[in-house]
């Protein structure tokens, strides 16, 4: 491994600052709260933190709408707090990567305030402005990703529309403009010079738009087409990223991970093949799409294990030896993984959470843990839409109501898929406000915090947290896990997730049962000649098997990893 490839050995912990730890009791998590928890993070064993945006923002999209890329939002603290955090994290052997959200800014950014004034000032072309069609309507039929209607908004002063793929308060930046690109690079340098260790690049597959802004011909009944149609993996995205690499990233020993919405694996390789000098890895979405229904992401469909495996195995096989994967089950935009892919009933919550962690951690790539996953935090089901904070949930509620769906049906989709499932405050203990704060937090707590919390988990006989610790420890520097070839087993098996990793003749066999019943696993013939040593198990370390050990009987949500020799 190249020494600059330290991120291949990393385990990343994602912090959603608003909901991690509130140090000043205003109900909002903050930088000093993160500082308090560095010993906790060090003990867990993670060595990189990814912070969701902490920059100045009106918080329409919880900080992804940035009004000043050089300032820390008041609610999170000061620049000095940030510098202290960085130093203390580094002293603890933990690196920090920041979110770089430059597909769009906030309408409150000074660039936009100037840009909307006229067509001929310094910032006029920092955003994507288009004339109306002859009948005055929007330039094309793209709809906003957040479901609020058209992706275009008319501004009287300029007599033009601007593009916003997300909220109307998030105008897309115009990457065609070299001045804008240089502003972005300068800002990256500002943070890198402070000593940060890399970036998670938000919505990066959407920064280059097809310049003829074509209508999406597959527009739905409401007339809106997909915003992804002319914006995903656009014509100049790789040119821009190569320029970013040359001008900025090549000068620093950092880690980069790009959020690559709507990017099939062949296109993903273009972002993450080392010789192309763009990014280290991308977040792929194929496995997040396995339970999409007729309304896309908002659905109550249950996934099929074979679909999940197909999606994840494809990435493992396709990037094997030529690129690098990021490994994740969830993040701040997704439901909690134990509720979505496991079983959050009290009987199986811990088993299924640890099983899922196991089958993820042994794949090739850099694992990402989202805050609270290490104690098996679950989805929340607030009774009323009024308790939800996420702009997307509100837009969807309105859209579905206008379509005539009942409150119950809409709420069931929101319960399953709302991004707020991941955004409820971190559950540290069973005191009031879960040890997150001493006052009512900005978003309600998940009422199960009195049972599910860090303190309880760490004090229990079966601690998910301790299990994560073991997985992290096992992975570190392990060549088979880092560099081994990946081989899928039994794609069609509807209960068991299984694969091998092999490096220089050494093999690990990984098994995880997605069933709440006992299920059989026939060890593949080519693996039967090996002796097996059990190296990871989420049960008691005993194995149930037949006499010649050719069949294993996996208990509900059992995870087993064998070293074969
Ligand atoms: C992707 C981020 O992960 C998400 O939280 C955000 O809403 C969108 N980008 C738009 O900024």
The atom number, within ligand 1, closest to the CA of 101 reads: 11
Q: Distance from CA of residue 445 to its chain's centroid?
A: 21
Going from the Cα of 492 to the center of ligand 1, the distance in angstroms, rounded, reads 34
Predicted structure pTM score: 0.98
| Per-residue tokens: 417 | 């898929």
Report strand pairing: 559-564 vs 532-537: antiparallel
179 assigned to active site: no
* 305 Cβ contact list (under 8 Å, min separation 6): 493, 494, 495, 497, 514
Q: Architecture of domain 484-564 in CATH?
A: Sandwich (2.60)
Question: Domain coordinates of the chain in residue numbers?
Answer: 6-107+173-472, 484-564
Give the ranges where 74-146 is alpha helix by DSSP (H). Answer: 79-91, 110-115
Q: Please identify which of the residues 61, 172, 197, 259 carries the catalytic annotation.
A: 259
Query: Is residue 215 within 8 Å of 141, Cβ to Cβ?
Result: yes
| pLDDT value of position 504 | 95
* 477 Cβ contact list (under 8 Å, min separation 6): 9
pLDDT (tens place) for every residue of the chain, 565 residues total: 777 899 999 999 999 999 999 999 999 999 999 999 999 999 999 999 999 999 999 999 999 999 999 999 999 999 999 999 999 999 999 999 999 999 999 999 999 999 999 999 999 999 999 999 999 999 999 999 998 899 999 999 999 999 999 999 999 999 999 999 999 999 999 999 999 999 999 999 999 999 999 999 999 878 899 999 999 999 999 999 999 999 999 999 999 999 999 999 999 999 999 999 999 999 999 999 999 999 999 999 999 999 999 999 999 999 999 999 999 999 999 999 999 999 999 999 999 999 999 999 999 999 999 999 999 999 999 999 999 999 999 999 999 999 999 999 999 999 999 999 999 999 999 999 999 999 999 999 999 999 999 999 999 999 999 999 999 999 998 999 999 999 999 999 999 999 999 999 999 999 999 999 999 999 999 999 999 999 999 998 899 999 999 999 999 999 999 999 9
The residue nearest atom 5 of ligand 1, judged by CA position, is: 333
What burial letters (b/e) apply to 468-501, b meaning 16+ CB within 10 Å?
Answer: bbbbbebbeebebbbebebbbbbeebebbbbbbb
CA distances to 214, 422, 490, 524 from 537, rounded to whole Å, are 53, 27, 20, 20
* 501 Cβ contact list (under 8 Å, min separation 6): 362, 363, 364, 480, 481, 484, 485, 486, 487, 507, 508, 510
| Per-residue tokens: 500 | 């091998």
Query: Is residue 292 within 8 Å of 267, Cβ to Cβ?
Result: no
The atom number, within ligand 1, closest to the CA of 103 reads: 11
Going from the Cα of 14 to the center of ligand 1, the distance in angstroms, rounded, reads 14
Going from the Cα of 380 to the center of ligand 1, the distance in angstroms, rounded, reads 20
For a ligand 1 pocket test, name from 61, 227, 421 the mutation site with the most ligand atoms within 8 angstroms of its C-beta. Answer: 61
Going from the Cα of 387 to the center of ligand 1, the distance in angstroms, rounded, reads 20
How large is the angle between the packed helices 265-272 and 237-247, nearest 10 degrees? 20
The residue nearest atom 7 of ligand 1, judged by CA position, is: 61
Q: Which residue, 98, 114, 242, 271, is CA-closest to 181?
A: 242
CB-defined site of ligand 1, < 6 Å: 61, 64, 101, 166, 202-203, 259, 332-333
**Hey, which CATH number is domain 6-107+173-472, 3.90.1150.10, 3.10.510.20, 3.40.50.150, 3.20.20.80?**
3.20.20.80
| Per-residue tokens: 303 | 């996934």
The atom number, within ligand 1, closest to the CA of 61 reads: 7
Judge if 6-107+173-472 and 484-564 fold alike in CATH terms.
no
CA distances to 244, 250, 505, 524 from 500, rounded to whole Å, are 37, 34, 12, 11
Instruction: Map residue 91 onto helix, strand or coil.
Output: helix
* 341 Cβ contact list (under 8 Å, min separation 6): 303, 308, 329, 352, 356, 514
202 assigned to active site: yes
């Amino acid at each position: 491994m190249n020494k600059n490839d330290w991120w291949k050995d990393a385990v990343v912990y994602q912090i959603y600052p608003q909901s991690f730890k509130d140090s000043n009791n205003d109900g909002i998590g903050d930088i000093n709260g993160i500082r308090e928890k560095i010993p906790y993070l060090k003990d867990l064993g993670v060595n990189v933190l990814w912070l969701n945006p902490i920059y100045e923002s009106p918080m329409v999209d919880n900080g992804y709408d940035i009004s000043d890329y050089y300032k820390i939002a008041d609610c999170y603290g000061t620049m000095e707090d940030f510098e202290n955090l960085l130093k203390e994290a580094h002293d603890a052997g933990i690196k920090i990567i920041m979110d770089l959200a430059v597909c769009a800014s906030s309408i409150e950014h000074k660039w936009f305030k100037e840009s909307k004034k006229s067509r001929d000032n310094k910032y006029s072309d920092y955003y994507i402005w288009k004339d109306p069609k002859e009948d005055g309507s929007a330039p094309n039929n793209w709809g906003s990703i957040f479901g609020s209607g058209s992706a275009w908004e008319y501004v009287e002063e300029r007599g033009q529309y601007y593009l916003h793929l997300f909220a109307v308060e998030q105008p897309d930046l115009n990457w065609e403009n070299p001045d804008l690109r240089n502003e972005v690079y300068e800002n990256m340098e500002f943070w890198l010079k402070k000593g940060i260790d890399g970036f998670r690049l938000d919505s990066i597959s959407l920064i280059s738009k097809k310049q003829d802004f074509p209508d999406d011909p597959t527009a739905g009944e409401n007339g809106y087409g997909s915003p992804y149609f002319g914006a995903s993996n656009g014509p100049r995205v790789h040119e821009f990223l190569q320029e970013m690499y040359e001008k900025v990233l090549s000068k620093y020993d950092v880690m980069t991970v790009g959020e690559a919405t709507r990017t099939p694996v062949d296109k993903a390789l273009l972002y993450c093949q080392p010789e192309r000098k763009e990014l280290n890895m991308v977040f792929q979405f194929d496995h997040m799409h396995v339970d999409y229904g007729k309304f896309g992401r908002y659905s109550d469909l249950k996934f099929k294990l074979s679909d999940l495996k197909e999606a994840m195995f494809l990435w493992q096989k396709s990037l094997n030896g030529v690129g690098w994967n990021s490994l994740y089950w969830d993040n701040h935009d997704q439901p909690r993984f134990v509720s979505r892919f496991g079983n959050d009933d009290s009987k199986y919550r811990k088993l299924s959470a640890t099983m899922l962690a196991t089958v993820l951690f042994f794949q090739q790539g850099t694992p990402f843990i989202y805050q609270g996953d290490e104690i098996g935090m679950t989805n929340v089901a607030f009774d009323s839409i009024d308790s939800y904070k996420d702009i997307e949930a509100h837009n969807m509620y309105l859209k579905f109501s206008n379509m005539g769906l009942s409150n119950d049906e809409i709420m069931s989709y929101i319960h399953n898929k709302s991004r707020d499932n991941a955004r409820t405050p971190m559950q540290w203990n069973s005191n009031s406000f879960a040890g997150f704060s001493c006052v009512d937090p900005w978003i309600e707590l998940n009422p199960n915090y009195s049972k599910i919390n860090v303190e309880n988990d760490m004090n229990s006989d079966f601690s998910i947290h301790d299990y994560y610790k073991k997985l992290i420890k096992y992975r570190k520097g392990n060549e088979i896990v880092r560099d081994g070839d990946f081989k899928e087993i039994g794609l069609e098996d509807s209960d068991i997730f299984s694969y091998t990793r092999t490096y220089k003749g050494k093999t690990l066999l990984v098994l995880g049962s997605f069933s709440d019943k006992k299920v059989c696993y026939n060890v593949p013939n080519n693996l039967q000649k090996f002796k097996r040593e059990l190296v990871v198990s989420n049960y008691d370390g005993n194995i149930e098997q037949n006499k010649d050990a050719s069949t294993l009987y996996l208990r509900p949500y059992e995870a087993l990893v064998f070293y074969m020799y």
